[in-house]
Structure 1
Amino acid sequence: MAELIAWVLVVVIAAYACAGGTDYGAGFWDLLAGGAERGKRPRWLIDHAMAPVWEVNNVWLIFVLVVMWTGFPTMFQAVFEAMWLPLALAAVGLVLRGAGFALRKPTHRLAQRRIYGAAFAVSSLLTPFFFGAVLGGIAAGRVQVGTTASVDAWANPTSVLTGLLTVTATAFLGAVYLCSDARRFGADDLVDYFRPRALAAFAAVVVLALVALPVTHDDARHVWDGLTGGMGLLLVVLAAVCGVATVYFLLRRSLRWTRYTSAASVALTVLAWGFAQRPYMLPTTLTVTDAAGDPETLKWLTIVTVIAIVLIGPLLVLLFRLDTKGELEPLTDADTQAARAPGDNL
């Protein structure tokens, strides 16, 4: 039962990486969109693409915390004791990001819009970095039961590279999804705007992954061995295939499948990390069995999880389906043309 709950945790982390990661990626491109005039249309698309579902994606994060706290309290305590600072910074980033996004759209004064927009964009960069740094520190074995908080726990080479990989992966997802949204909204100029950015983000992911190979070999050997053999290696290969397929579809301007292939590449990478860490929750000191809570608690957690999946899962699928079909926030041709800024060169 502990093994089952552990895999539920990994799958939910993968879901958050894909769903929430897309929103972080949109914020990343918001940050790089330029000044008020030049960035008007990209930010218009980001606002309309994110507005219907952006709050829903944090459900996955809450689910991760609840399952981790309830099912694996020993791990929860160890991680939050050793990593309280980056996790606190990520939490602050979540709050500022949500506030910035919610307040920017209804605000009419340009100075205030810039402040709220900067809070949203910068937090969209820093929050995934800190989450990635925490995962990197765990993978490198920097977190053990009784480990006190230190900079080395999350500012080591593996953590930094994992944080950067997380940021670039979200940028890749965000640009790919925004390409599809631009096509859906009839804004073909924005397809041409985000398509090269998606390709550039994928290239950055590849470069960082190559840089991470020797670092992981020396700094996180258990995870390295898991990623270079068995099921971990198979999932890494499948993730790479999905990434290359996304690039192929982008180059051919065939955007129908890019959402699925890009999300699959990220989800498969997270699952590969889960297989690579087996049988540990904290390599190489705390196994899944040792980290598990009381058997009775795990039994009820399993029951509640199944009920949540049965009741909430279909609703989330329906929500995202309605969003991709434009049923939640439909736009008219007049709206898409009105968003074009005079003299805006994309």
Structure 2
Amino acid sequence: MSTAIAVVLLLAVATYAIFGGADFGAGFWDLTAGGPERGEGPRGLIERSIGPVWEANHVWLIFIFVVTWSAFPSAFASITLTMFIPLTIAALGIVLRGASFAFRKTVVTVRFRRIFGGAFALSSLLVPFCFGAIAGGIASGQVPAGGKAGDPVDSWLNPTSLATGVLAIVLAAYLAAVFLVRNARQVGEPGMAAYFRRRAVVTGVVAAAVALIDFVVLSFGAPHVFDGLTSRALPLVIVSVASGVGTLVLLVRGASHGARALAVVAVACGIGCWGVAQWPYILPESLTFSAAAAPSGTLTALLVAVGLALLIVVPGFVLLYVLDQRQLLPEESVEDVGDRAVESGTG
């Protein structure tokens, strides 16, 4: 039963990495879009693309936390006690990002729009880095078992964590660029489609290079995970690499729809690689999933709750994403008075 919960947890992490990652990656492109005039087109497309769904993506993060503390309480205690600094930074970053995204649309001066825009973009980099650093710290054995706290600094500021954190930022930017290519074509903006296609190709190449560096770092920083990647998780590694290469080929050829699907497969298999390589440990190499599991009654109740969530919540998400992709959702209810004020010369 603990294995079934672990699989559910891994699927939830992959889902958040894909949808939440693309959401955070959009902030990277917002940050690098340039000044107000040069960046108007990219930022406008980004706001229209993530506006209807950006809040919904964090439901997956809440689901991950609830499942982890319910099914594997001792591991959850060790992780939160050890990683409380990056977890706190990530939580504050999510709040700051959401507030800045909303306030940027309502302030009337260029100065404050830049401040809120900068906060939105910078927090979009900070959050995925923290989550990647946490994953790297867990993989490298920085979190002790038994509900104990490890080193609050070295646990997430070590070579494995830093490399994984940077990889998380790059993968988020890569996913966002691929998604935005498709979104630009859907709204009839071929110029923006070409803009983000070039960035998707470049970011894909950078992601491959960073992933290779992370792979080398794992060989001495997280030997158990490295051994798993080169053995039992190798098929998923091959699928991830092949999908990434296929994405680049399709992007160069202009097939944005197929490129988006392959990019999702590449990232999902990348998350799957990590889970399979780390198995059977939730905290390598000190605590297995089975040893950390809650009593069977708790696991049974949790599986029932997950089944109900699949029946009740997932269809709503599917409907939301389908309506969003078909451009059938209205703009956010808050009027963008900032744009109106800027156009009239205020600020």
Task: Note the C-alpha offset of 1:124.
Answer: 0.2
> Equivalent of 2:181, from 179, 182, 185?
179
Aligned equivalent of 1:16: 16
> In 2, distance between residues paired with 1:237 and 1:317?
29
Corresponding position of 1:258: 259
Secondary structure, in 3 states, of the residue corresponding to 1:275? helix
What residue in structure 1 maps to residue 322 of structure 2? 321
Aligned match of 1:220: 222
Find the aligned partners of 1:192 and 1:118 in 2 and give their Cα distance. Answer: 25
Deviation at 1:260, TM superposition (A): 1.3
The alignment yields a C-alpha RMSD, in angstroms, of: 1.6
Residue deviations 1:43-85 (CA, integer Å, cap 9, x gap):
0000000011111100100000100111111011000111100
- From 135, 149, 152, give the equivalent of 2:151: 149
Post-superposition shift, 1:329?
Answer: 3.7
Is contact 1:26-1:171 (8 Å) kept? yes
Give every structure 1 segment of 4 or more consecutive aligned residues whose post-TM-superposition deviation is greater than 3 Å: none
- TM-score normalized with structure 1 length: 0.94
Q: Aligned letter for 1:255?
A: S
Is the CA contact 1:48–1:329 (under 8 Å) kept in the aligned structure 2? no
Partner of residue 312, structure 2: 311
Q: Which residue of 1 aligns with 2:127?
A: 127
The structural deviation recorded for 1:149 is 3.4
Amino acid at match of 1:213: F
Q: 1:286 matched to which residue of 2?
A: 287
Secondary structure in 2 matching 1:152: coil
Deviations 1:105-146 (A, max 9, x none): 232221111111111000000110010000000001111122
Taking structure 2 as the reference length, what is the TM-score of the superposition? 0.93
Corresponding residue for residue 69 of structure 1: 69
Which position in structure 1 is the counterpart of 2:336?
Answer: none
In structure 1, what is the Cα distance between the partners aligned to 2:134 and 2:55?
23
2:195 matched residue in structure 1 = 193
1-structure distance, mates of 2:104, 2:265: 32
The unaligned stretches of length 5 or more in structure 2 are: 332-338
- Give the secondary-structure state (helix, strand or coil) at the position aligned to 2:257: coil
Residue 310 of structure 1 aligns to which amino acid in structure 2? L
Between the aligned residues of both structures, percent identity stands at 45
Q: Distance in 1 between matches of 2:137 and 2:314?
A: 31
Aligned-residue offset at 1:147: 3.3
Q: Is the 8 A contact 1:168 1:205 kept in 2?
A: yes
> Aligned partners of 1:318 and 1:264: how far apart in 2?
21
Shift of 1:175: 0.4
- State how far apart, in whole Å, the 2-side matches of 1:280 and 1:160 are: 22
Query: What displacement does 1:174 show?
Result: 0.5
Amino acid at match of 2:163: L
Q: 1:209 aligns with which of 211, 236, 239?
A: 211
| Counterpart secondary structure, 2:282 | strand
Q: Secondary structure at the match of 2:55?
A: coil
Is residue 167–residue 214 contact of structure 2 (8 Å, CA) maintained in 1?
no
SS of the aligned residue for 1:151 comes to coil
Q: Give the Å deviation of 1:150.
A: 2.6
Pairwise CA distance, 1:213 = 2.4
Contact 1:81 1:149 in 2 (8 A): no
C-alpha contact (below 8 Å) 2:84/2:152 kept by paired residues:
no
Name the residue aligned to 2:44.
44
Query: Which residue number in structure 1 is paired with residue 7 of structure 2?
Result: 7
CA distance in 1, matches of 2:25, 2:252: 20
**CA-to-partner distance for each residue in 1:230-257, whole Å, 9 max, x for gaps?**
2x11011101111111111110111122
